[in-house]
Structure 1
Amino acid sequence: MSSKYSLPLVLSFTIHIVLAGILLLGDFSSPPKPTPTSVQMEPIQAVIVEKSKVEAQINKIKKQKADDAKKLKDLEQSIAAAKAKRLNEAKRVKELERQRKKKAREKKAADIASKKAKAKANAADKIRKQKEREKKQADEAAAADAKAKRIKEENDAKKAAKKAEDLRKKKAAELKRKEQEARERAAQQKLLEQQMAEDMANRQQARRQQMMTEIGRFTALITQTIKRNLITDRSTMEGKSCKLTISLAPSGFVTNVVTGQGNRIVCEAAKTAVYKAGTLPVSKDPEIFREMRTISLTVAPDKFN
């Protein structure tokens, strides 16, 4: 065993010494630091170039050291791998030898046991055949039970599927019925709303017609009141007219009169007639009065006669 490992050990030791020497020489070969000297007037460019050379040399030495260290590490790993391989090979050979001896012992024991086994083989064969017959019978019985169980499960599944389908159809029919009822209710509601809207429109139209009739009636009454209080002069008013805008209080009291387009004389006379009347006839219905609060009309004296 010592002869197997002496050569690798010597080789590893020699390599370590050589690499250590290289590293030492690399340390000592580093460029010496420049000693301070008397003041020299050298150009700045020269100093920068010299410094870059020194740094380049230092980087080169550092790289060399790193490369040497990597080579040493790789070599050590190779030696360790080779050593491990040799150890594994020795273990494998030893294990093969052990297995060979074991197999030899086992073969010898097997030969002895073989003779005994043959004696028991016939009896065991009979027992085996008996067990096979029993197993076959048991398997056939189990197969029959499994078949019956499978048939029952299939029938149960069919019944369950039919029941589920019937329930689904029932729910679908119920949903359809409810949807139809909802549509019918919606249609009835829509029809009712349409009828209510039509009734409302008819009532509003009738109310509007009633209001217009009332407004027309009270407008005629107001016109008659103005006529009664209007002082006319055929020579100056014939063929003339004036538009008035009258503002009224809920009691009919005149709050304001504005004359619009028309003859000045007619406008003044009409305005005077309105203020003379003081209160004009108005509807007691608040809704109708809102439409008459401000009323516009045209006064034409020659049409009053």
Structure 2
Amino acid sequence: MLKFGPEVFISIGLHVLIGGLLLVSMNFSSPVIPVHAPMPNFTPIEAVVVDAKTINDQLQRIEDKKQAERDKILQQQRDEQRRKEEAIKRKQEQERKRVAEVKRREQAKKEEEQRQQRELERRAAEERERKAQQKREAEQRAKQEAQRKEQERKEMERLMQEQLQAEQAELSLRARQRQQYVLTETQKYQAMIEARIIQNWYKDDSMIGKTCRIQIRLSSTGFVISVRSLGGDKNVCVSGEQAVRRAGEMPMSKDPSVYNELKDITFLFKL
């Protein structure tokens, strides 16, 4: 609904006033007076003649003013409409920006969550790889340690085997040396015992070609414990036993091994 200001009502009043003046001008500007009639006795009234152009100009000004008022009202309405539209646009733009900002924040949040998730996955992958590497290194160290221990064991076994062989060789050598020593000592003392017995054996020509085997048992000091004939010529056996008894205490080694070889000896008497 259009609203009119006081100027409009003033304009309407002026139009009514001008119309009235025109009517008055038309009725009283040219009065008809009879020729022979006497002039009435009245006071003359000044008539106001209104020029048509002036009226038109006045009307045009009024119309222009009215049009200006209408244009002003229309401009105000357009300005108001524009302000409303601009306000709506600003509100829509603000809403669009708000929605865009919300979406941007949601997208940024989503991207940040995705980045954090990727970072967690990357760290988890690195941790798994680190543990796998540690496991591989531990297994490698364990394998190397096992190989080292196996090599040490084999080396120890080799050294022990060599040492055992060396000890066995040493024992064998010592045994051979000992055996040789015992044999030599036995032979030496046996020869000394035989020499002692021969020195105390009395022989005669009747024993030529005859023999007698006599077993002699000695103590560790060389003392003759027993003498026994094992068979042979009687005379040779009797003279042999007498020779052993006359020899008395025999030469004897203090080495038990040599004594064991000499404690029971068999002497062959032969002429």
Which residue does the alignment assign to 1:264?
234
Note the 1:206-217 alignment, pairs <5 A: 206-217=177-188
Which residue does the alignment assign to 1:170?
141
- Displacement of 1:210 in angstroms is 1.8
Which residue does the alignment assign to 2:75?
none
Does the residue aligned with 2:182 lie in a helix, a strand or coil? helix
Which residue does the alignment assign to 1:40?
none
Letter in 2 for 1:164: K
Give the whole-Å Cα distance in 2 for the aligned partners of 1:207 and 1:191: 23
Which residue does the alignment assign to 1:84?
none
- Displacement of 1:142 in angstroms is 4.9
- Displacement of 1:143 in angstroms is 5.2
Which residue does the alignment assign to 1:154?
125
Give the whole-Å Cα distance in 2 for the aligned partners of 1:175 and 1:139: 52
Which residue does the alignment assign to 1:276?
246
Which residue does the alignment assign to 2:215?
245
Give the whole-Å Cα distance in 2 for the aligned partners of 1:228 and 1:150: 112
Which residue does the alignment assign to 1:288?
258
Letter in 2 for 1:174: E
Which residue does the alignment assign to 2:190?
219
- Per-residue CA deviations over 1:170-194 (Å, capped at 9, x if unaligned) read 2211221222122212212221221
Does the residue aligned with 1:290 lie in a helix, a strand or coil? helix
Does the residue aligned with 2:229 lie in a helix, a strand or coil? strand
Query: Please, what TM-score do these two structures have when normalized by structure 2?
Result: 0.55
Give the whole-Å Cα distance in 2 for the aligned partners of 1:253 and 1:208: 25
Letter in 1 for 2:129: K
Give the whole-Å Cα distance in 1 for the aligned partners of 2:114 and 2:167: 78
Note the 1:84-233 alignment, pairs <5 A: 142=113, 145-233=116-204
Query: Please, what TM-score do these two structures have when normalized by structure 1?
Result: 0.50
Does the residue aligned with 1:299 lie in a helix, a strand or coil? strand
Letter in 2 for 1:212: L
Give the whole-Å Cα distance in 2 for the aligned partners of 1:254 and 1:153: 99
Per mean C-alpha deviation after superposition, the further-off stretch among 280-289 and 201-210 is 280-289
Letter in 2 for 1:284: K
Letter in 2 for 1:250: S
Does the residue aligned with 2:202 lie in a helix, a strand or coil? coil
> 1:285/1:152 Cα in 2 relative to 1: closer, same or farther (>3 Å)?
closer
- Displacement of 1:140 in angstroms is 7.1
Structure with more helix by fraction: 1
Note the 1:12-27 alignment, pairs <5 A: none
Unaligned runs of at least 5 residues, structure 2: 1-102
Paired residue total: 171
Letter in 2 for 1:275: R
Look at both structures and tell me which one has the larger radius of gyration over its CA atoms: 2
- Displacement of 1:141 in angstroms is 6.1
Give the whole-Å Cα distance in 2 for the aligned partners of 1:170 and 1:219: 69
Does the residue aligned with 1:210 lie in a helix, a strand or coil? helix
